[in-house]
Structures are given as C-alpha cells and as structure tokens.
C-alpha cells in the first residue's frame, strides 16, 4: 500500500468519526449552520480524495451523501430518516475503508446502488416540494470532473463531460473571434491562441445556472460559504502545519529507550550516593533533571484525550435510544483529559459496554420516568478527570438504580453469601456483587429485561490494566460507576518488599495499607486451624505468606509471626500478604518476562532496579486467583473444593448456562453463545403460521421448543434464551434458568439425538449439552444457507483441528456456514498426516491446548516448511492473555482468537482470506 493511501485511510477514518459525532449533534440542532458546514466539508474532502485516488465506489457513496447534505444546507427539513440514512452511508464507507485497508489498497467489489438510490431519492424528495433542484459548489464540481471516469451515469448535481467540452469549445471560439480583430486586441491579448480559463470557468458556471435556473440565493450564499470554508481551512492548515504524524512503533521505541535511560540514571544516582563527595555529583544532577524532563516529554507524546475513546458513544446512544424508544441525553465532561494511548485502547470497549448498559437498563422508559416525576429525557453523564497519578472516569445515569432486593436474592440463590451475612453488609458491598463472575447475567434473569452479559468482563478488563471499578446506586435516582485507572502502563509505582531474602515489587495500586505485626503488639497473627488471620478493625483478614505462595523454602530461624502485612485489595477480594520486610516505593518500568517464565501467573513482569539488580513484579490478580475463592467468601467453599478437586487439570474452563427444559435433568449451553436471557409475558407470545412468535426489538422473533415436554405456561412469564446472529434472533423456550457455572467441559457420552451434543458432568450432575446449531435452522430454515449462497463462489478449503469433540461439532458448522470447505482433524498429528499426503488448504484454524503436539508447536512446524510458510493460520484458544497471544505470534500464527468468539473467528477468517485474495489479485 502506498503512503498516500495509508495517509488517506488514517485521515478519512478520523474524519468519519468526527462526522458521526457531528451528525448526531446536528440532528438535535438542525439550524446550526456551522455544524452542517463542518460535516459537509468533511464529506466533501473524502469525496474529493477518493476521486483523486481512483476509488469510484467510495466516491459515489460520498457524493450521494454530500448531495443530500447539500439539500440540508439549502434549508431542507432535517428528518430522522435522512440522518439515519447518512449515518448508514458513513458506516458503509467505513466498512469499505476497512476492507480497503485489509486488501492493501484494492477497493472491494460490490454495489452500493441500494444506498445511493435511497440517498438520491431522498435528495429529490427534499428538493421537489421546495422547487430547489440540486445546487453544487461550483469550483468543487470542476475539481471532481477532472478526475472523473466516464463509465457511469451522471449523478444528480453533476455536469456531463459533453457539457463541459461544449463550454470549452464555445469559449475557445469566442477567443478566436476576439483574435479576428487583432488591431484592437493585440496589445491587450498577447497570447490570442491560448484558452482563457477564467472564461471557461465562467461559462461552466453559467451553464450550471442554466441547469439550475431556480438557484436564487446562489451567488450571495456561495460567497458566504466560500468565506466560511476559507476560514475553516486556514484554521485547519495552521493546525496541521504544527503537528506531524509519527508511527506508533517509533514512539514505542522512543519510550523504551527513555525507560532504559531512566534506569541507567537511577543506577548512577545509586553509585554516587555511596561516594559522598564525588565530582560526578553536579553533572549527574543535571543529567537527572534532563532525563526526567525527557521522560515527561516522551510520555506526553503517548497521551491522547479520552474524548477519542468517547467519539463513538453519541452515535451508539442515539441508535440505542431509537431502538429502545427512550429519550437519552449524553453529557460528556472532561473529554480533553489525557491518558496513555495504550490504556485508552484498553478501556474503549468496557466504557462502551457500560454506557450501553446504562442506556439499556439504567434508564427507564419515558412513561415510567414521567410517572416517577422525572423529566422524560434521561441523562447519561460521562466525566473524566485526573486525581493523583490516576484518571477517574464516571458513568452516571439518572435512571432507576440497582434493585437491592433482587441482588440480595440472587446472592443467596447463587450461594455467594448467606442471609445472615447479607444483613451485616453495607449496600455498597452488596452492589459490588454484580461484578461477580456470572452474577450479572444471572441477575438479569429475574428482571424483565436484564443487564447485558458481563459486568464481570468489564471488571476483568479494567483490572488487567491495573484499574478498579466501583459503583454507587440510589434506588429511583440512578447509578454511578467509577473507574480508576493508572495514567500509563509503562511506568508503575511499586512497593519493594522482601521475603526469604528475595525482593519483590508489588504494584501500589492494589496495596491498601501496611500493618506491622509482632507477637506482643496490638496486631498479631492468630490461627484458626493453621490458617493465619489478622484482626483488623473488627474484621478478620485472611493472611497468606508470600513465601508460601511462591513455594520458597521458609528458613526455620525466622519467627513466622513477625513481619509486615501488605493489605491488598483485588476486585472485591481483600487479603493480607505476609512479607519479612518492606523497603520503599519505587517507580519502575515494567519489562515483559522471558517466554520461559510467562507461565508463572504470580508475576506480571520484571524490571531492573536502581541498584542494577533484577526484580520480579508480583501480579496482584495472579496472587488473588491463586489464593482464590477460598478467601473471597466462606460461602464459596464448594467452588473452592471443586477447584481443588480439579487440581492440575484446570484446562479450558468455560461458562455454561444451566437450565431445565422438559425433563428434570439439567441442560446446558455455553454462555457465550447466548445473546440474552429474556422473559416474556405469556400474552405477548403470538401464534402465526403454525409457530410461536414474539415481538422483540421491533421485529418478530420465532420461538423454538427444545422438545415437546417444555411446559407452555398458561400465565405469568415464559423464560427463554435468545440467540442472535447477523441481525436475526431466535428464542429457545425453557422451563427455568438454573445457574451459570464455570466448568471445564468434558463431554463424556456422545449423543445420537438431534439437538444434543452429548452429556457432561456439571456441578456433579449429568447434564445434557445442547447443540444450538441444530435449533437455529428450525427458526429460520436459511439461517446457515443464506450466507453460503453469497459466498459460494469464494469457497476456500479450511483445515480445522481441535481435540475436543464439542468444539469440532460447534465451530465446524459455523465455519462451513461462513463459506469454507471445512476438513476437521482431532489432533495435530492427524493434521500433519493429511498435509503430508499433499492435501492443500487455504487457511488453517488450530486449537492451542491439545495433547501430544500443541498448537504452538504445530504452527512452528508448519512455518518451517516452505509449502506452508504463507498459509494463514489462526489460533483458537480458551486462554487469551497478552502473553499467550504474543506466544502465538512468535509461533507463526496470523491471528489469535478466543474460543466462543464466533464473530471474531469469522471476522479473522474473512480478513485473512480477503487479504490474501488481495495479494493474489
């Protein structure tokens, strides 16, 4: 891809994001000409550049959108449909851009006639009643025409080439006529044969006017516009001349080098400290200052306003509001608060998820709001500000607030805590349970429409970047989520501790306080059957010796009951880490651990300290999960036991949704396949054409019964699991949703019954695992087929290996549905045999966790063979940590996708195969 195109892609993507935001604003303030001008200018620039780069499809789309917006400028009414249509066009353009990027500059084939004709129809409809035919900015039109290809029909608002030529010809003739009277003109016109471009232009303008005889305000307005545009342009020009684009990699490298410099400086300072009067002292001080400033400067280059992560939100909220029939106002405060771009990338998704949640579930419908004496329009307020070395983000809604009783009920049902314990808990402690794994999803079962899948996912995401999330909620008044995240991930403030002669660094963010314990002091370690605990402010704090956790030999002469306790909080787990000594805090630069050590979950990285020695950085999350659920609450005992029972084989645990349908035995499906859990009033279930349907989010959703014994309730509500894919939804009717459990799935008995994959032991009971792939076609016969047809021409051969029959059965059909010719293997050796026999595949999808030869080894092996050097390989793994992804990349995988991330897998396949199509073409 050439630089020009790359530049174009970056710039256009930025512009489009702005257009998104501006359009939503515009819809609310249709009379704001400045906003409209801004949008118009951006779209126009895109159109112009596309024409220049020879991207006819994009150009056509942008042109049609521009024409419609031109109508707005002329005063046509701004309707919701019109804005939606333009937004849709922007989405299409984005889609094409993405493909363009993937295909290295090859514009994807396809037709946008559908959108364009709608846009044109709307432009015409806007124009007709007001007798205002298309009007175009003249000089811009001329610009487009230069790069124009003559292979399509004229669009509204354009001049034909003939017209243009005629203009040229006629003007030229006039010039010739002028040349006929040389005596009078010669002096004034020294080059009589030349074309007078000014006149050509004038002629074209005149002709345009002829074509648009009703353009009354024409001149005056266009002059005004020209001025405004010139102003805007000069503004933009001045900004762009002051900034340059720098490759992120360059910045990363710079950052690493500065980090090295900081470390070296620290080492030097340490040396000088030991020699009292050294002549190095003064220059070193200067070096130290310069280094600090340099570090700050480089850090600044990585900073981006958080508004960048918010850019898509107004659009999302608008769409949601429309879909849900709510009125929502999105307030954003502190969008210019800056934070590290790496952090920014990582919080984007959790933020979006939370805003979506607030809009969907936090805010009530207008009628309910009115009943409660609130304004019909609900507000979601996003605020960001700095506090200490952290950035605080608040997401607040003025909706109904969390339902305390329901949460309590669910806590008890799930066995997370007993009734008696709940009595002692504060409200905020109870609210925090919505972040417990599987909990949020379970909670929503009881509410009419539940919370979307996964507040625990949000929490996990935030915690992986060393952040915390908290919430406050008042019933009837609203809910506020507070996220606290470090400004940057590169430099971490840590506490240096000692345990058995080794030093370790603990990130400060998770350290709550330090307690010194001695046998005779107020704080001392007590034991309940060998389990050490500490009485701290009337609470019992579970203790874990760091040495024991790290399995370091505890030297006998040390008194076990003397030392320091680092009180740590990870999520809602609080515990005390017993260490021998505490030194000081130090700002460190985290360096990734060697691959050979990355399997140790207790450490997140290592670094070089000021004295030049290497120190391991303790991962609070790793520690918390190691001491695990046993510490979280006593009520989780059975979970902990289960964990212990599993012991070594803690492979691929997945969340399963347990429910009952028809028979008393539990049934299960992987939770990640379920889009939502819903309960519908029985009256809402309609019968039509021999099947049951409900109206769901503006369309009809067919209901499917897993078997004939499912109780069709007479009254009340009917629970169901909703599965959605590519805009279609199906409801699987069940009797009762039982639980969500995290278990390693091991299908022990296969099944011949259609719709059942087999049986597995879940929570000690034999449970039927349903095959969702069987039910989807029952709802829509063409669920799989319609995709097949569209891509039949592109059928590519795909090799899929996975040792688990469950995944083979589940993902095989999915990939087949995506248009691939799938060959399935149950092990790497089987696959190698196939490949050895000369079978050729366009793409290979491989599981990572496999016995004998694992996915990494398999990929490495393939990469070593010249025949498969360039075959795209996608890794599929239950374990999706940055370390494993990195390991996958090193082994030669092109993509690393989480199991169950079905859309992700399809997207990866599409991207990879279309990319290699681009190269081949």
Partner 1 sequence: MTATSHTPGAAANDSHSGQIQYVTVFIGGQLFGLPIHKVHDVFVPESMTRVPLSAPEVAGVLNLRGRIVTAINMRRRLGLPQREGNHGIMAVGIEYRGESYGLIIDEVGEVLNLDAAGREANPANLDGRWAEISGGVHRLSGQLMVILDVERVLGRMQGDMAA
| Chain position carrying tokens 């390991």 | 887
Using CA atoms, how far residue 518 sits from 188, 361, 646, in Å, is 105, 51, 37
| DSSP E strands, 697-735 | 699-704, 717-725, 728-733
* CA atoms of 471 and 469, how far apart (whole Å): 7
Count of all residues that appear for the chain in the document: 921
Q: In sequence order, what are the beta bridge partners of 303? A: 340
On the 0-12 / 13-18 / 19+ scale of CB atoms within 10 A, 415 is middle
Which residues have CB under 8 Å from 19's CB, separation 6+? 39, 42, 43, 90
Residue 412 CB, nearest approach to partner 1 (Å): 38
From the list 44, 237, 8, the residue with the least C-alpha distance to 144 is 44
Q: How many Å apart are CA 193 and CA 183, to the nearest integer?
A: 15
728 exposure class (CB count in 10 Å sphere: 0-12, 13-18, 19+)? middle
Give the 3-state secondary structure of residue 724: strand
Name the one residue in this structure whose structure tokens are 């402690």.
429
> How far is the C-alpha of 314 from the C-alpha of 355, rounded, in Å?
10
Report how far residue 351's alpha carbon sits from residue 338's, in angstroms, rounded to the nearest whole number: 16
**Smallest distance, Å, CB 908 to partner 1?**
21
- Closest CB to partner 1 among 606 and 746? 606
**Under 8 Å between Cβ of 116 and 64:** yes
Cα–Cα distance, 576 to 582 (Å, whole number):
14
Residue 862 to residue 874: CA distance in whole angstroms: 12
Is the CB of 600 or the CB of 840 nearer to partner 1? 600
Shortest CA distance to 659 belongs to which of 740, 751, 759? 740
Interface with partner 1 (CB under 8 A) = 260, 263-264, 502-503, 550-552, 591, 594-600, 602-603, 606-608, 612-616, 854, 856-857, 864, 887, 890
Tell me which residue of 438, 410, 439 sits closest to 743, measured CA to CA: 438
| Structural contact between residues 144 and 47, judged by C-beta atoms closer than 8 angstroms | yes
Residue closer to partner 1 (CB basis): 422 or 626: 626
Here the tokens at position 441 are: 């999803």
Nearer to partner 1, 550 or 710 (CB): 550
| Residue 697 contacts residue 688 (beta carbons within 8 Å) | no
* Beta-strand pair 728-733/667-670: unpaired
Calpha distance 375→313 (Å, rounded): 22
Strands 563-570, 573-579: pairing kind: antiparallel
Q: How far is CA 144 from each of CA 48, 56, 140, 254, 290, rounded to the nearest angstrom?
A: 6, 11, 6, 42, 52
Q: Give the tokens for residue 374.
A: 């609130």
Strands in 538-632 per DSSP E: 539-545, 563-570, 573-579, 581-589, 603-608, 614-618
Q: What token pair was written down for 703?
A: 């209901």
Cite the DSSP H helix spans in 29-153: 33-53, 56-73, 80-102, 113-130, 138-146
Supply the DSSP symbol for 689: T
User: Which residue, chain included where needed, has tokens 């942008």?
Assistant: 62
Least distance (Å) between residue 877 CB and partner 1: 11
Query: Can you tell me the distance from the alpha carbon of 580 to that of 565, in angstroms, rounded to the nearest whole number?
Result: 9
What would you report as the CA-atom Rg of the chain, rounded to the nearest whole angstrom?
A: 33
Q: Residue 154 has what DSSP assignment?
A: P
Non-local (6+) Cβ contacts of 631 within 8 A are 542, 544, 573, 575, 624
Q: Which is nearer to partner 1, 561 or 860 (CB)?
A: 860
Q: Give the burial string for 347-367 (b: 16+ CB within 10 Å, else e).
A: bbebbbbbbbbbbbbbbbebe
Q: How far is the CB of 835 from partner 1 (least distance, A)?
A: 18
Distance CA 93, CA 86 (A): 10
DSSP label of 152: S
Q: What is the closest distance, in whole angstroms, from the C-beta atom of residue 332 to partner 1 in the complex? A: 42
CB nearer partner 1, residue 607 or residue 718: 607
- Which among 53, 46, 56 is positioned nearest to 150, based on CA atoms? 56
Return the number of the residue (800 or 856) whose C-beta is nearest partner 1.
856
Least distance CB 693 / partner 1 (angstroms) = 49
């Amino acid at each position: 891809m050439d630089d020009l195109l790359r530049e174009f892609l970056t710039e256009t993507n930025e512009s489009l994001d702005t257009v998104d935001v501006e359009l939503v604003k515009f819809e609310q303030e249709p009379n704001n000409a400045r906003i409209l001008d801004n949008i118009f200018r951006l779209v126009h620039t895109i159109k112009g550049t596309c024409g220049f780069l020879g991207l006819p499809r994009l150009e056509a789309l942008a042109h049609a959108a521009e024409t419609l917006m031109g109508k707005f400028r002329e005063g046509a009414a701004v309707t919701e449909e019109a804005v939606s249509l333009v937004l849709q066009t922007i989405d299409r353009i984005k889609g094409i851009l993405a493909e363009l990027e993937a295909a290295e500059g090859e514009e994807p084939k396809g037709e946008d006639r559908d959108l364009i004709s709608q846009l044109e129809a709307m432009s015409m409809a806007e124009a007709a009643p007001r007798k205002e035919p298309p009007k175009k900015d003249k000089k811009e039109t001329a610009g487009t025409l230069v790069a124009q290809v003559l292979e399509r029909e004229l669009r509204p608002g354009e001049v034909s080439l003939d017209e243009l030529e005629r203009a040229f010809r006629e003007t030229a003739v006039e010039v010739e006529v002028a040349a006929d009277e040389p005596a009078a003109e010669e002096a004034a016109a020294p080059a009589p044969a030349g074309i007078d471009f000014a006149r050509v232009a004038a002629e074209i303008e005149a002709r345009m006017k002829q074509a648009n005889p009703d353009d009354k305000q024409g001149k005056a307005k266009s002059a005004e516009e020209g001025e405004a545009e010139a102003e805007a342009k000069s503004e933009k020009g001045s900004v762009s001349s002051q900034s340059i684009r720098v490759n992120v990699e360059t910045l990363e490298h710079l950052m690493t080098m500065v980090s090295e410099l900081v470390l070296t400086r620290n080492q030097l300072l340490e040396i000088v400290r030991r020699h009292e009067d050294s002549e190095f002292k003064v220059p070193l001080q200067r070096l130290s200052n310069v280094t600090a400033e340099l570090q700050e400067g480089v850090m600044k280059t990585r900073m981006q306003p958080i508004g960048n992560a918010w850019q898509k939100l107004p659009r999302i909220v608008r769409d949601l509001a429309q879909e849900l029939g709510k009125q929502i106002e999105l307030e954003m405060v502190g969008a210019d608060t800056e934070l590290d771009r790496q952090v920014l990338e990582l919080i984007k998704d959790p933020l979006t998820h939370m805003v979506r949640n607030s809009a969907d579930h936090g805010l009530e419908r207008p009628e309910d709001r009115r009943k409660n004496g609130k304004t019909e329009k609900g507000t979601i307020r996003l605020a960001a500000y700095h506090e200490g070395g952290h950035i605080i983000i608040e997401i607040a809604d003025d909706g109904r607030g969390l339902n305390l009783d329901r949460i309590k009920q669910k806590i008890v049902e799930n066995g997370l805590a007993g009734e008696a314990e709940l009595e002692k808990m504060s409200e905020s402690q109870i609210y925090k349970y919505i972040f417990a794994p599987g909990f949020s999803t379970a909670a929503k079962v009881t509410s009419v429409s539940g919370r979307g899948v996964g507040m625990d996912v949000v929490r996990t995401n935030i915690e992986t970047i060393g952040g915390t999330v908290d919430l406050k909620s008042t019933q009837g008044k609203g809910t506020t989520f507070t996220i606290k995240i470090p400004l940057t991930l590169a430099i971490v403030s840590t506490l240096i501790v000692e345990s058995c002669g080794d030093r370790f660094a603990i990130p400060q963010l998770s350290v709550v306080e330090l307690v010194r314990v001695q046998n005779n002091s107020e704080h001392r370690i007590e034991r309940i059957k060998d389990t050490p605990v500490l009485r701290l402010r009337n609470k019992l704090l579970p203790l874990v010796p760091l040495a024991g956790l790290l399995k370091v030999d505890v030297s006998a002469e040390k008194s076990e009951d003397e030392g320091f306790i680092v009180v740590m909080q990870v999520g809602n787990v609080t515990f005390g880490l017993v260490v021998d000594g505490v030194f000081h805090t130090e700002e460190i630069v985290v360096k990734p651990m060697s691959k050979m050590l990355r399997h140790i979950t207790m450490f997140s990285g290592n670094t070089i300290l000021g004295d030049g020695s290497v120190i391991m950085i303790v991962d609070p999350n790793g520690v918390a999960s190691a001491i695990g659920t046993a510490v979280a609450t006593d009520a989780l005992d059975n979970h902990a036991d289960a964990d212990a029972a599993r012991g070594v084989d803690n492979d691929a645990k997945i969340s399963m949704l347990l429910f009952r349908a028809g028979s008393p035995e539990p049934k299960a499906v992987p939770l990640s396949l379920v889009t939502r859990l819903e309960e519908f009033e029985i009256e809402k279930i309609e019968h039509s054409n021999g099947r049951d349907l409900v109206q769901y989010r503006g369309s009809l959703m067919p209901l499917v019964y897993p078997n004939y014994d499912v109780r069709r309730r007479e009254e009340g509500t009917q629970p169901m699991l909703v599965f959605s894919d590519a805009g279609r939804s199906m409801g699987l009717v069940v009797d009762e949703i039982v639980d969500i459990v995290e278990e390693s799935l091991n299908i022990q008995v296969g099944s011949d019954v259609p719709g059942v994959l087999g049986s597995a032991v879940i929570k000690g009971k034999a449970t039927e695992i349903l095959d969702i792939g069987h039910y989807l076609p029952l709802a829509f016969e063409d669920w799989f087929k319609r995709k097949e047809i569209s891509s039949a021409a592109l059928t590519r051969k795909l090799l899929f290996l996975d040792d688990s029959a469950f995944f083979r059965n589940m993902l095989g059909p999915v990939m087949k549905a995506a248009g691939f010719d799938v060959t399935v293997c149950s092990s790497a050796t089987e696959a190698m045999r196939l490949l050895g026999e000369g079978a050729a595949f366009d793409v290979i999808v491989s599981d990572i966790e496999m016995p004998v030869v694992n996915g990494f080894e398999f990929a490495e092996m393939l990469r070593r063979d010249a025949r498969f050097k360039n075959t795209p390989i996608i890794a599929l793994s239950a374990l999706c940590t940055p370390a494993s992804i990195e390991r996958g990349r090193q082994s030669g995988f092109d993509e690393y996708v989480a199991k169950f991330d079905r859309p992700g897998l399809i997207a990866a396949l599409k991207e990879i195969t279309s990319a290699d199509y681009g190269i081949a073409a």
